[in-house]
Amino acid sequence: MAKLDQYPKIMSMASSTGGAVKMKIQRISNMLLEDNSVERRREVAIRCLVVYLREKEEDLFKESLDGEMDFTDDVIKIVVRRGALMSDTAKTRVVIEGTEVLDDLDLPRACALLMGLIYALNLSYPKELIKTFEVFQKILLELDGLKASPRVMSLKNRLLS
């Protein structure tokens, strides 16, 4: 999470795109209008990264309504439960292969712990989120960063400049 805080350019870089991606990023950025806490800024940065990489938020995050708790079909998901107000802190749970493995976390911590679980359990990254998890691994966690794909290296260079 400290590494995520070191990259304030994520938001401005993601906002510089155009088209449908820009619209999605503006919708995500509006989350900061209600709550500008550190946790919310980290959540917004992670969600913007997913969209910036042209992957779908829904493939990683599942918004849970009050009574909705069915995640039997989910291979790897972070289930997000929000309070009545948008400013309420979101509580998340990590689901792997339909089983809840962690609960009552904030979203950035859930992402970090999910990466740890993927490593500990020797799981493959989901195909639809391969770029996002590669960014988590190579840029945010700095694991095996010299062997990153050209797209990830380009992103890393843009973040550092």
Spell out the domain ranges in the chain: 2-160
Q: Please tell me the pTM assigned to this model.
A: 0.86
pLDDT, tens digit, for every residue of 106-146?
Answer: 999 999 999 999 999 999 999 999 999 999 998 888 888 67
Backbone angles phi, psi at 122, to 5 degrees: 55, 50
- How many other β-carbons are positioned within 10 Å of the β-carbon of residue 111? 26
